[in-house]
Amino acid sequence: MLAPRYRLPPHAAHGGAFVLASPAPAERLGVLIVDESEDTREVLRAALERRGVATWEAAEARRGMELARQHHPQVIVLDVETIPAEDEDIRQELAAARRPDTAVLVLGRARDFAQALPQDRIVPKPYHYAPLIRTIESMLGTSVGA
């Protein structure tokens, strides 16, 4: 992490206080976690944030789409159980909202949605968190330090 720089603002040139100016933040890698399970969201968030990855969370697919449009994460972890089976519109919206530079990791029985759901990787349930986190790191294109 870069040390903050101190600078003297023009209006404080004679006897004024120094102002702590933070350096411009580097663009952080980001992961959107869309999962009904609060425990899963919490475990993934804690593990990824310890590695310096920004995270956003949603318990429902529609909210996840809003966050994806707002934050443009590099990876979306999407539990298919957050998508109502009868809601064909949301699957089409997910496909349309996906950016070319965003990878999608689908958790669960994705074969039910294989044609309509964008996906780069599928992780069937049940899964273990450590391999899932390594998969997310791989999709981010880096092995972020712990």
50 occurs within a structural domain: yes
109 occurs within a structural domain: yes
User: Residue 122 is part of a domain; what is its CATH number?
Assistant: 3.40.50.2300
pLDDT at 12: 40
Number of domains in the chain: 1
For Cα atoms 82, 134, 115, give the angle at the middle one, nearest 5 degrees: 40
pLDDT at 53: 95
Residues 91-122: b if buried by 16+ CB within 10 A, e if exposed: beebeebbeeebbbbbbbebeebeeebbbebb
Range of the domain at 33: 26-140
17 occurs within a structural domain: no
117 occurs within a structural domain: yes
The 10s digit of each residue's pLDDT in 16-71 is 333 333 333 446 789 999 999 999 999 999 999 999 999 999 999 889 988 988 99
pLDDT at 110: 63
